[in-house]
Structure 1
Amino acid sequence: MKQIYALFFLFLFFGCKPETKLTNMKNKIVIAHRGASGYLPEHTMEAKVMAHAMNPDYIEQDLVLSKDDVPVVIHDIYLDDVTDVTEKFPERQREDKRFYVIDFTFDELQRLNVTERFDPKTGKQIYPNRFPKGKGSFKLHSFQQEIELIQGLNASTGKNIGIYPEIKNPEFHHQNEKDIAKITLNILSEYGYKTKNDKCMFQCFDAKELERARKELKSNLFLVQLIEFPEETKQLKHFATYADGLGPWYKQILDKKEGTRWQFTTLVEEAHKLGLKVHPYTFRSDQLDEFYSFEEMMQVLLFEADVDGGFTDFPDKMVQYLTKQ
Structure 2
Amino acid sequence: MPTPIVIAHRGASGYLPEHTLPAKALAAGMGADYLEQDVVLTRDGVPIVLHDIHLDTVTDVAERFPGRARPDGRYYAIDFTLEEIRTLLVRERFSHKTGQPVFSKRFPHVASRFTLHTLAEEIAFVQGLNRSMSRTFGIYPEIKQPAFHRREGQDISAIVLRVLEESGYRSKEEACYLQCFDEPETERCRRELKCPLKIIQLLEEKDWKLLLAAPRRGDLDAALAKVAGYADGIGPPVSLLVSEFRADGTFAATELAAAAHHHGLVIHPWTLRRDELPKSVPSFDRQMEILFGELRVDGAFSDFPDLTRQWIDRRMA
- Taking structure 2 as the reference length, what is the TM-score of the superposition? 0.93
Matched, 1:322 2:312: yes
- Matched ranges for 1:165-314 at <5 A: 165-232=141-208, 233=211, 234=220, 235-257=223-245, 259-290=248-279, 291-314=281-304
- Please list the CA deviations of residues 29-84 of structure 1 after superposition, one character each: whole Å capped at 9, or x if unmatched: 10000000000000001101111111111000000000011101000000000000
Query: Which piece of structure 1 moves more, 220-229 or 253-262?
Result: 253-262
Aligned length: 301
- Please list the CA deviations of residues 193-214 of structure 1 after superposition, one character each: whole Å capped at 9, or x if unmatched: 0111100000000001100000
> 8 Å contact 1:85–1:112 — kept in the other structure?
yes
Matched, 1:27 2:3: yes
SS at match of 2:128: helix
Match of 1:5 in 2: none
Alpha-carbon distance in structure 1 between the residues aligned to 2:125 and 2:245: 43
Alpha-carbon distance in structure 2 between the residues aligned to 1:317 and 1:238: 35
Alpha-carbon distance in structure 1 between the residues aligned to 2:36 and 2:245: 31
Counterpart of 1:122 (choices 98, 106, 118) is 98
- Distance apart, 1:26 and its partner CA: 4.6
Counterpart of 1:97 (choices 73, 92, 102) is 73
> 8 Å contact 1:230–1:252 — kept in the other structure?
no
Q: Which runs of 5+ in 2 are unaligned?
A: 212-219
Query: Which piece of structure 1 moves more, 253-262 or 288-297?
Result: 253-262
Alpha-carbon distance in structure 2 between the residues aligned to 1:203 and 1:257: 27
SS at match of 1:91: coil
SS at match of 2:25: helix
| Matched residue type, 1:292 | P
Alpha-carbon distance in structure 2 between the residues aligned to 1:283 and 1:257: 15
Match of 2:216 in 1: none
Match of 1:7 in 2: none
> 8 Å contact 1:201–1:224 — kept in the other structure?
yes
- Distance apart, 1:103 and its partner CA: 0.3
| Matched residue type, 1:149 | F
- Matched ranges for 1:70-85 at <5 A: 70-85=46-61
Alpha-carbon distance in structure 2 between the residues aligned to 1:29 and 1:217: 27
* Pair 1:36–1:261, CA change in 2 (3 A): same
Alpha-carbon distance in structure 1 between the residues aligned to 2:151 and 2:244: 41
> 8 Å contact 2:10–2:36 — kept in the other structure?
yes
| Matched residue type, 1:190 | E
Alpha-carbon distance in structure 1 between the residues aligned to 2:115 and 2:156: 22
SS at match of 1:38: coil
Match of 2:37 in 1: 61
Match of 2:214 in 1: none
| Matched residue type, 1:199 | A
- Taking structure 1 as the reference length, what is the TM-score of the superposition? 0.91
> 8 Å contact 2:14–2:106 — kept in the other structure?
yes
Measured on the aligned residues, the alpha-carbon RMSD in Å equals 1.1
- Distance apart, 1:237 and its partner CA: 1.8
- Distance apart, 1:107 and its partner CA: 0.6
Alpha-carbon distance in structure 1 between the residues aligned to 2:177 and 2:156: 16
Alpha-carbon distance in structure 1 between the residues aligned to 2:156 and 2:120: 14
- Distance apart, 1:313 and its partner CA: 0.4
Q: Which runs of 5+ in 1 are unaligned?
A: 1-24
> 8 Å contact 2:249–2:282 — kept in the other structure?
no
